[in-house]
Amino acid sequence: MTAPRTTLRPFALGLLGAVVAMTSLGASAAFLKDGKIVAGSDVTFAPYEYMVDNKPAGFDIEFMDGLAKTMGRTVETQDTRFPNLITGLTGGRFDVTNSSMYITAERVKVIDMIPYLKSGESIITLKDSAYQPKRPEDFCGHKIGSMGATSWLQQMHKLSDEYCVKNGLKPIAISEYSTDPQTTQAMLAHAVEAQITDAAVARSAVDKLGGRIVISSTDLIYPVLNGFGVKKGNDEVKTALVDGMAKYRATPEYAALLKKYNFIAPTDADIAALMPKP
């Protein structure tokens, strides 16, 4: 990991305020299973969640395990593809989504979200390519790959229409793939020229591929909060998770987990600035 180090700061008041703001009225619902948290994850998104020896691993998996332990529960992870997470949650398959999901205005209209990380996107491309885009505006007229159902896809389409085309440039040719690794493979096969993905995922891909690809962007793109998703009206689960997180954040295990992955906990100011308003 090569992300810049940032001083970690508790964000209890800001988090609780943001969660209260996201609370919706409705009949409360219990956890699906006694003593467990049933979590829906797309386990193809290293370093957040991925498989090792047929078992889920990664930051989100470890985070949820630590949180569940604090709550006196265990975690049951159900692997599904990212576009199925919200429908699975609202359909009652999971207690929570645990899949590095960005908190967006569109998503909080459908589900409640609890912030736990600050992140954003990076651009990756082939190391030996002459095309090394630094920012999304450099995508005009090029073939760009992305995992489907991500929040930045909307931003790419908007950028193509409102920046590229309006400025007399060619639109962005956007190709969507089922998983992030499939997108990277498409780039390696020259089906797309560059890929936009989560910054931590980009760093993980560069590490795994031994220098065949590089991060071409220089700044964090579209800073955003990552959050757990909870079904609207399921206040029992949401309150239990918020209370559990307040306790878990006070443990040495929480600080060690953030340090292990070199991830950034959101500050109160981050939450105030980046949490969508209900």
Q: What is the pLDDT along the chain (278 residues), one digit of tens a residue?
A: 333 333 333 333 344 444 433 433 334 468 999 999 999 999 999 999 999 999 999 999 999 999 999 999 999 999 999 999 999 999 999 999 999 999 999 999 999 999 999 999 999 999 999 999 999 999 999 999 999 999 899 999 999 999 999 999 999 999 999 999 999 999 999 999 999 999 999 999 999 998 899 999 999 999 999 999 999 999 999 999 999 999 999 999 999 999 999 898 988 899 999 999 86
Say how far residue 154 (Cα) sits from the centre of its chain: 15
Q: Are strands 143-147 and 173-177 parallel, antiparallel or unpaired?
A: parallel
85 contacts: CB under 8 Å, gap ≥ 6: 40, 41, 42, 94, 97, 99, 101, 229
pLDDT given at position 262: 84
Domains of the chain plus CATH, in order, are: 12-119+223-274 (3.40.190.10), 120-221 (3.40.190.10)
Q: Are strands 74-79 and 213-215 parallel, antiparallel or unpaired?
A: unpaired
Q: How far lies 183's CA from each of 49, 112, 128, 268, in Å?
A: 17, 29, 18, 34
Residue 100 in tokens: 């590095």
pLDDT given at position 29: 62
pLDDT given at position 28: 47
pTM: 0.78
Q: Are strands 50-52 and 96-102 parallel, antiparallel or unpaired?
A: unpaired
pLDDT given at position 121: 96
Residue in this structure with the two tokens 């450099």, named with its chain if needed = 138
